[in-house]
């Protein structure tokens, strides 16, 4: 009895009809733009594998943030490229560190823009690992002190949200405790709860100059094969006090975004990472894909899967189209 009574094409006939029955909508206010901040003045250095993305000195970063505000973008997330790196990741938690100074400058110029800071050590360690290396491996508990100190220094500089991305166990609890003890009980934590050891971070490591100098990150980032473990990571981070959680990368993990959306009633973010961006950018440059449509379709899929917040290098371009 279905056909010819039911004809799905009826409601697809015009853009007005399609728009009327559209289930999923994108809004610039739900995008977070990742930005890379470096030392110097007037620096705007394009990242080879991420066309249209730059390492920016603070003066240029502030301009980029003003543009983000004018486009209605929900927030920015900052990654720092320090002048020098060491075994102790001291640049990560220094009061005068690059991210700390950048946050203060942004908050001065565009106080309403939500500034999220990535809390991690890999951009600041000489070996490129996300924590303190002891006997060739990252020492979990020793690393927690660096992360807590970084989060507090970011909050002190004015960060609206801190976002640990290191994948150490117990970091959310350690950061929550440190924030509370230091007078920042109202600073939320966005935990990169389910972060996978993904090949798609490749271009980012060029951008942030953070590739590990030996080994890889598989002893702390997750195995891409594991879904149940991802739910457990999220559950534990929520127990430790995370206010929001993230799945990363996004498009290869849409099933997990949906699974998390159905299970946990907290704001859910997904990170469309550098490699996801670069694939589309490269195909578009070759004339193999329509850039705008690929961008919007990929973002729509992430939204449809259940992510309320999307971290994306397309934030500005997508906002312009919406
Ligand atoms: C830091 C960090 C990484 C990304 C975000 N935070 C790199 C990594 O874990 O190697 C990747 C983001 C991207 O690829 O766009 N730990």
Q: Which helix (H) or strand (E) holds 317?
A: helix 315-321
Host domain of residue 77: 24-321
- By mean pLDDT, which of 60-69, 131-140, 275-284 is the weakest? 131-140
Q: Alpha helices, DSSP H only, in the chain?
A: 15-20, 58-70, 90-93, 98-109, 140-157, 171-181, 202-207, 228-240, 254-263, 274-285, 291-305, 315-321
- Higher per-residue pLDDT: 1 or 115: 115
Q: Tell me if 137 is assigned to some domain.
A: yes
Given the DSSP bridges, would you call strands 309-312 and 244-248 parallel, antiparallel or unpaired?
Answer: unpaired
- What values do phi and psi take at 49, rounded to 5? -85, 0
Residue nearest to atom 6 of ligand 1 (CA): 165
Distance 274 CA to ligand 1 centre (A): 8
% of the chain beyond a pLDDT of 70: 100
Q: Tell me if 248 is assigned to some domain.
A: yes
Choose the residue to mutate in 77, 78, 196, 201 for probing ligand 1, maximizing ligand atoms within 8 Å of C-beta: 201
Q: Tell me if 1 is assigned to some domain.
A: no
Concatenated DSSP letters for 127-151?
T--SSEEETTEEEHHHHHHHHHHHH
Note the pLDDT tens digit of each residue in 173-191.
999 999 999 999 999 999 9
| Pocket (CB within 6 angstroms of ligand 1) | 118, 120, 122, 130, 165, 201, 204-205, 273-274
Q: What is the CATH number of the domain that holds 134?
A: 3.20.20.70
Give which of 129, 100, 116, 93 is closest to 210, Cα–Cα: 129
Mean pLDDT of 32-57: 97
Can you give the pLDDT at residue 259? 98
Concatenated DSSP letters for 167-193?
--TTHHHHHHHHHHHTT-TT--BEEEE
Distance 203 CA to ligand 1 centre (A): 9
Q: Tell me if 207 is assigned to some domain.
A: yes
| Model confidence at 61: pLDDT above 90 | yes
pLDDT band at 266 (very low <50, low <70, confident <90, very high): very high
Q: Tell me if 91 is assigned to some domain.
A: yes
Q: Tell me if 13 is assigned to some domain.
A: no
What's the CA gap between 169 and 16, in Å, rounded? Answer: 50
Count of the separate structural domains present in the chain: 1
Distance 1 CA to ligand 1 centre (A): 53
Q: Tell me if 69 is assigned to some domain.
A: yes
Distance 296 CA to ligand 1 centre (A): 22
Residues with catalytic annotation? 195, 248
pLDDT band at 1 (very low <50, low <70, confident <90, very high): confident
pLDDT, averaged across the chain: 97
Choose the residue to mutate in 89, 120, 224 for probing ligand 1, maximizing ligand atoms within 8 Å of C-beta: 120
The pTM assigned to this predicted structure is 0.97
Per-residue DSSP letter, 49: T
Q: Tell me if 225 is assigned to some domain.
A: yes
Residue whose token pair is 């070996």: 127
């Amino acid at each position: 009895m279905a056909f010819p009574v039911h004809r799905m094409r009826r409601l697809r006939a015009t853009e007005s009809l399609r728009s009327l029955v559209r289930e999923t909508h994108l809004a610039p206010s739900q995008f977070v733009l990742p930005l890379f901040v470096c030392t110097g003045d007037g620096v705007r250095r394009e990242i080879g594998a991420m066309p249209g993305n730059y390492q920016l000195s603070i003066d240029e970063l502030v301009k980029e943030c003003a543009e983000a505000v004018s486009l209605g973008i929900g927030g920015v997330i900052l990654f720092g490229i320090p002048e020098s790196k060491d075994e102790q990741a001291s640049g990560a938690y220094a009061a005068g560190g690059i991210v700390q100074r950048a946050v203060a400058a942004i908050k001065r110029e565009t106080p309403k823009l939500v500034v999220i800071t990535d809390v991690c050590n890999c951009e600041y360690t000489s070996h490129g690992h996300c924590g303190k290396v002891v006997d060739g491996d990252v020492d979990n508990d020793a690393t927690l002190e660096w992360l807590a100190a970084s989060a507090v220094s970011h909050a002190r500089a004015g960060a609206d949200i801190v976002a640990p991305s290191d994948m150490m166990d117990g970091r959310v609890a350690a950061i929550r405790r440190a924030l509370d003890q230091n007078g920042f009980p109202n600073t939320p934590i966005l935990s990169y709860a389910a972060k996978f050891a993904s090949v798609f971070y490749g271009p980012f490591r060029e951008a942030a100059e953070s590739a590990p100098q030996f080994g890889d990150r598989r002893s702390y980032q997750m195995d891409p094969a594991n879904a149940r473990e991802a739910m457990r990571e999220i559950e534990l981070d929520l127990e430790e006090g995370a206010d929001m959680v993230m799945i990363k990368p996004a498009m290869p993990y849409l099933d997990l975004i949906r699974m998390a959306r159905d299970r946990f009633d907290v704001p859910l973010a997904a990170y469309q990472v550098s490699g996801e961006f670069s694939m589309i950018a490269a195909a578009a440059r070759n004339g193999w894909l329509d850039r705008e449509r690929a961008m919007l379709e990929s973002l729509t899929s992430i939204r449809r899967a259940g992510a309320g917040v999307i971290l994306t290098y397309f934030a500005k371009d997508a906002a312009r189209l919406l």
